[in-house]
Chain A
Amino acid sequence: MDMSIALILSQDGITNGAIYALLALALVLVFAVTRVIFIQQGEFVAYGALTLAMMQSGVLPATVWMLVAMGALVTVLDGGLALKAGQGRRAASVAGWNLGYPLALAAVVGGLAVNELPLAVQVLLTLAIVVPMGPMMYRLMYQPIASAPVLVLLIVSVALHIAMVGLGLLFFGAEGQRTPAFSEFSLELGPLMVSAQTLWVVVVSVLLIVALYQFFERTLYGKALRATAINRVGAQLMGISPTLAGKLTFFLAAFIGALSGVLIAPITTIYYDTGFLIGLKGFVAAIIGGLASYPLAAVGALAVGLLEAFASFWASAYKEVIVFTLIIPVLLWRSLRSHHVEEEE
């Protein structure tokens, strides 16, 4: 291996690592606020990438119908509850957001020649379709069992993951898809050719991480999510409902997932089930951060990305094995150095 190969591998590693970092942050956030292990994070990646790919090939993405179906269920549940309580205006707003919005979106995406729209609009439409599935999923699957043990929530996540992979096969077919790059240029840095898409991935990831940091540090809603993660009872007494926190968290996680998918679609061929492996690598990174520390998770994500890149050069057949084996020493190290922290009072 010479210097230029090492540089190319590092570039790959950092690009993937940036995506894993985003996914790891979302996993840590979802777990901290709702105690849900968000296994289906990877499916949001695949749904994002493949929805965009379908739009570009001029087909109405079936995910839009999934959104309509989920929205209809939410409308029945929440709208019904609101009507029962005699809150007609609330029922109307529930129906508007959960039924009106998906139908309007379906009409827009179905009515326009989406494959001729500029890429930015396609990306926005993709996010508009995939992201609302996050909070709807929380409402339908997790909210009724919000206080269940972590293990039960995990089982629900596994079930949702399997269901989403199956639906993905139905929606997108077994063929892999790759979308064209966002822009066609490359940067020459000494011996290294940096492709535009690599820059897109790294820059967007860094911007998103900074934006998330600002959200959690500066805005009251961000602080409310942190507060829920720190002390659920205390947060509830402030009127921060676990439901609101859960939906907001799932919104952010779905946004991060779908955006990651859109970002990597030009780099990697995405199949209906590719998301799982990507999500799992984010999960390894999150575990390095103990499912609690954001900076450690981000560092872990970079490590996972670099390890994967170099492993694929030396022993490409074993690259997944090598990456996932990393979790064993990490767990060992964590369990040896972790000490029991007394809860406040």
Chain B
Amino acid sequence: MSGENAMNKQTQGSAASSNADAKNPVLEVKDLCVSYGKVEALTDASLTVGEGQIVTVIGPNGAGKTTMLSAIMGVLGSRGQVAFDGSVEGVPEVERMVARGMTLVPEKRELFGEMSVEDNLVLGAFQRYRMGKRDHAQTLEEVYALFPRLKERRSQAAGTMSGGERQMLAVGRALMAKPKLLMLDEPSLGLAPLIVREIFRIISELRRRGVSILLVEQNARAALQVADYAYVLETGQIAMQGPAHELADDPRVIEAYLGLGGKHQAMLST
């Protein structure tokens, strides 16, 4: 798929179901539209996340990446179709999506700042607890095994931790729900290079454990390295898509997203 006609909607349409590795799609989004008043922030976005896949959505600021995740999660109203784990949602609704195994780590983390790390984590299992699956003590140990730092700080107030620790807490809290699909919105935003590397290490580790991941990132190089499949979102539309390693070699992607900052980002992500 070359640069110019990737912007062409027809090309995009024919390629809409081309995430061919996704044999058992966990998430299938078709023609999702979101508008803020009269402004359409997301137009006919379609994407697929297969079981055990890491799928990334890259794109510039304001392209609609966060909007898309919010709409899939049901935080924002939308038009279109979201099929999750085999059944179609008319309009997704947050509590239902959480109950069915989808979690979102939002860009702003949205932690419970005055509560302890452990309380934050345990609340991640609230929906499971409510449905009668009261295994959060065990899940907690698993999350602590993945993030030993959180265990050290278990009784500290979440709001007093560093940015990286808070991001880990946000991811850990999401994992407490034992999600089938984990959606991460800019997990590396505002973090020091070492922490970014740590976060991406954890993302690949999660895939090894069978969690499907939808990753939205501005750090395109790191995202393309870790992902199986990638979409480029520009001004509310899917502009390009393809296997992550192919997109990483695409001249247009290199120019727009990997170009000048590429070497710097490469240092951050390896």
Q: CB within 8 Å of B: which residues of A?
A: 220, 223-224, 226-227, 230-231, 233-241, 344-345
Contact = CB atoms under 8 A, between A and B. Distances in A.
A238 B113 contact: no
Contact of A240 (B103, B113, B123, B159): B123
A344 B106 contact: no
Contacts of B113: 230-231, 344
Interface in B105-124: 106, 108-115, 119, 122-124
Contacts of A220: 122-123, 125-126, 129
B159 A227 contact: no
Nearest 6 CB-CB pairings of A with B: A239-B127, A234-B110, A239-B98, A241-B95, A230-B112, A344-B113
B32 interface: no
Given A223-B123, A238-B126, A240-B123, A231 B111 contact: yes
A224 B75 CA distance: 18
Interface in B63-83: 73, 75
B263 to A, nearest CB: 29
Interface string B122-159: 11111101100000000000000000000000000001
B111 A239 contact: no
B114 A239 contact: no
Given A233-B106, A237-B73, 18 more contacts: A220-B122, A220-B126, A223-B115, A223-B123, A224-B123, A226-B112, A226-B115, A227-B119, A230-B115, A233-B110, A236-B94, A237-B104, A238-B177, A239-B95, A240-B95, A344-B113, A345-B108, A345-B109
B180 interface: no
A33 to B, nearest CB: 13
Nearest to B94: A236
Nearest to B176: A238
A237 B115 contact: no
Given A236-B75, A239-B99, A345-B108, A223 B114 contact: no
Contacts of A344: 109, 111, 113, 159
Nearest to A228: B112
B112 A234 contact: yes
B256 to A, nearest CB: 28
A235 B75 CA distance: 12
A308 B104 CA distance: 51
14 contacts: A220-B126, A223-B119, A224-B123, A227-B115, A227-B119, A233-B110, A234-B110, A235-B112, A237-B75, A237-B106, A238-B124, A239-B130, A241-B94, A241-B95
Contacts of A236: 75, 94-95
A291 B127 CA distance: 29
A123 B22 CA distance: 61
A113 to B, nearest CB: 41
Contacts of A241: 94-95
Nearest to A241: B95
Which of B73, B115, B126 gathers the greatest number of chain A CB atoms within 10 Å? B126
Interface in B207-263: none
Nearest to B127: A239
A69 to B, nearest CB: 29
